[in-house]
A and B are shown apart, each in its own frame.
Chain A
Amino acid sequence: MNKPFVVPVKLDSICQPPSSMVLLVDRAFRALARLGVIVILVLLAALVFEIGGKAIPGIQKYGLDFITGNVWDVNQHKFGILPAIWGTLYSALIALLIGGFFGISMAIFLTQDFLPPRLAAVFRTIVELLAAIPSVVYGLWGIYVVIPAIRPLTDWLHHSFGWIPFFGTTLSGPGLLPAALVLAIMILPTIAAVSQDALSAVPLKTKQAAHGMGTTHWEAILQVIVPAASTGIFGALVLGLGRALGETMALAMLIGNSNQISLSLFSPANTLAALLALNFPEAGPNEIEVLMYAALILMLITLSVNIAGSLIMAYAKRGNKK
C-alpha cells in the first residue's frame, strides 16, 4: 500500500539560471533604489546649503550673541533665540515624558494579551488615527478644550503650591503646559505604533520561557519582554522627540509666543519652529538672514538629538549581545 514518496515537480523545470528579463528587472530596480538614495542625499545637502548660505550674513552679524540673547526686536535689529531654544527643549521634554509614558503603556496594553485580538486591532487603529488629525485642528482643540479644562486645576496648583517654581505663575491661557499636553497627544501615535512593533517582535519563545520559569504576567512583561524590546522602544521615543521638536502650527497657537525663560509650566513661552512660522511670511531681508540662522540652529538641535539617540541605541545593542 505504501507508495514511495514522489517529488511532484520536475527538478529541471524550476532550477533555471535567471532569465535575462529577471536580471534586467533586478538591475533596473537596483539602479532606481540607488538613484532614490542619491536624490535624498542631494536634497538634504541642497537644503543645508541653501539655509546655511542664507544664514551666513546673520551668523557674521550676530554671532554667538544670537544664541545667548533673549530679545527679538525687529525694529532695533536685536535678535536672540535663547528663550525659543529653552521653550523648544522644555516643551518637547514634557511632551516626551507624558506622551512616552502613555504611548508605551498603550503599546503594552495592546500587545500583551490584555484584550481580545480583534478589540486590540480596533484600539490600535483608533490610536493611529490620531496621527491623521491636522496640526491646526489640534491647536484649536487646545484653545477651546484643553485650556478651559485645565484652568481650575492650574489655578488650584498655583494657589496651593505657588512656591514651587513649576507652578509660579497663573495660567493666562496659552502657555507651556497646554502646549506640552497637546504635543504629547500628537506624538502619542508615533510612540505607540513603533513601540507596538518592537513589543510584537519579541519572540513568542522568550515569553513562553519566562512564563515557564514561573513568572507572573506582569513580571514577564516588565522584566523580560520590555527589556527585550527596549532598543525599539527607545527608537520610538527618539522619533517622538524629533516630532515634538519640529512641531509648528499647534504650538504657534498654544504656546503664547512670549520671549521669556521661566520654569513655570503655566507661563507663555516660545519655540523655534513657531518663531520661524510666524515671522517668515512678512520678513524683510534683514530678518530673513536671522530666521535662517534660527532654522539652522533648529536643524542642529534635531540632528544632535537623533545622533544621540542612534548612539545610545547602538551602545545598548552592543550591551545586549555581550
Chain B
Amino acid sequence: MRRLMILAAFAAGVSLCANPPVLAQEKVRLTGSGASFPAPIYLAWFKDFSKKNAIVTVDYQSKGSGAGVQDFLNKTVDFAASDSAMNKEDIAKVAEGVQLLPMTAGEIVLAFNLPGNPKGLKLPRDVYSNIFLGKITRWNDPKIAAANPGMTLPDLPITVVVRADSSGTTAVFTKHLSAINEDFKKTLGEGNTVNWPASDKFIKSPKNDGVTATVRQTPGAIGYIEYGFAKLAKVDFALLQNKAGQYVVPSAESGAEALAAVKMPEDLVAWLPDPDGAKSYPITSYTWMIFRKKNADPAKAKAMREMIEYGLTDGQKIADSMGYIPLPAVVVEQVRKAAANIK
C-alpha cells in the first residue's frame, strides 16, 4: 500500500514536471475577419502557413472591411483586414495601440461588353469618370471615338454596372474618380457605397460575381471589378489613361509601377488615388491587416509575427499568379520592421 502511494506521488510529480513543455506545444488559434477583396490570397496564405507551422491555425472570415474593423473594436477577433485602412476615430478607441500593415495590393479594372469583342478599348480620364457620372451615355459618343480611331463603336446605350453591396472596391474606385473629376467629388463623393445616379441605365449587382455576370449578359455594359477576378473570369477590360496621359493595361507590372510611385509614410497608410508615372495603372490600392500592438497572449503575438513574415516572403511570391500586386521591396522592409511592434 505504501509502495503504491509513493508510486502515485512519483507519477504525479512526473506529470507535473512534464506539463510546461506540453503547454509550449499547445495549439495557437488566430482569428481574423474583414475585407473580401484580399480574401482569396489570405486564405491561400493561411492554409499554407498552417501546413508549415503545425501549431498555428488561422481562421479568416471575409465579411467586408467595415465588419472586420467592427469585430476588431469589439475584440472578437485577433486581427482584422481592411481595404480602406482604419480611420482616426476608430484607432483612438483601441487602448492597446493599433498597427496597420499593408500586406498586398490590387487593381480595379473596367470590364465591358461590346458586340464583336473589340480588343484594346482606350478610355480617357474624363470619359470613364463621366460614364460613371451618367453624363456620357452612348458608346458612339465622339469623345470615345476620338480616343479609339479605327474602332467601330456601336450605337448602343452604355449600361453602367456598379456594386449593390457595400464594398471596399467601391471605396477605392470612387476615391480615384473623385481625385480625377471635380464634379464626381461634389455630387457623388467617395465611400463604400455612393448614391449612383438614378437612371434605368445604372444597374446594381451584388459582389464581383454579380457585376461580372451582368456585364457579360448585357451588350453595351461597363462595370468595375477587381483585376484578379477579371483575370479569372476572362472578361474584356479597357486601357485607362493615367495621370501622365498614357493608356495603360492593368497588370502586375503596371500596378507595381503605381505602387513604386508613392512613398510609404511612417504609419504605413499610403493612398494612391491618382499615381504618377508614365507606366502606372491609375486605379491601384494597398490593402491592410490590422493588429493590436499589445496582446494579452505572447504566444498569439509570436504567431501573428510569424504569419506576417510568411506573408512578406512566401506570400508575395504567389501574389502575381492570383491577380494581386507584390509589395515593393522597400515596403516589405518597412512592414517587417513595423511588425516587431506587435507584442
Contacts and interface: CB of A to CB of B under 8 A. Distances in A.
Interface of A: 70-76, 78, 140, 143-144, 147-148, 169-170, 172-175, 252-253, 256-260, 262, 264, 266-268, 274, 277-279, 281-284
Contact of B66 (A76, A144, A148, A283): A283
Contact of A74 (B193, B204, B221): B193
Contact of A253 (B167, B206, B221): B206
B157 A281 contact: no
17 contacts: A71-B195, A74-B193, A75-B189, A75-B194, A144-B217, A172-B201, A172-B221, A174-B205, A262-B200, A268-B203, A274-B164, A278-B165, A278-B166, A281-B165, A282-B64, A282-B192, A283-B66
B64 A281 contact: yes
A279 B191 CA distance: 13
A256 B210 CA distance: 10
A140 B213 CA distance: 8
A278 B203 contact: no
Interface in B189-225: 189-195, 198-206, 210, 213-214, 217-218, 220-221
A173 B165 contact: no
Interface residues of B, number: 36
B198 A147 contact: no
A264 B189 contact: no
Contacts of A71: 195
Nearest to A169: B200
Contacts of A140: 213
Contacts of A283: 66, 166
Given A262-B200, A281-B64, A172 B166 contact: no
Contacts of A253: 205-206, 210, 213
B138 interface: no
Contacts, number: 111
A151 to B, nearest CB: 9
B159 interface: yes
Contacts of A70: 198
Which 3 A-B pairs give the minimum distances between C-beta atoms? A282-B166, A257-B204, A173-B218
Contacts of A259: 198
Contact of B213 (A144, A260, A282): A144
A74 B188 CA distance: 11
B63 interface: yes
Nearest to A145: B217
A175 B204 CA distance: 10
A266 B157 CA distance: 14
A173 B204 contact: no
Given A169-B200, A279-B165, A281-B165, A174 B195 contact: no
A173 to B, nearest CB: 4
Given A140-B213, A282-B67, A252 B200 contact: no
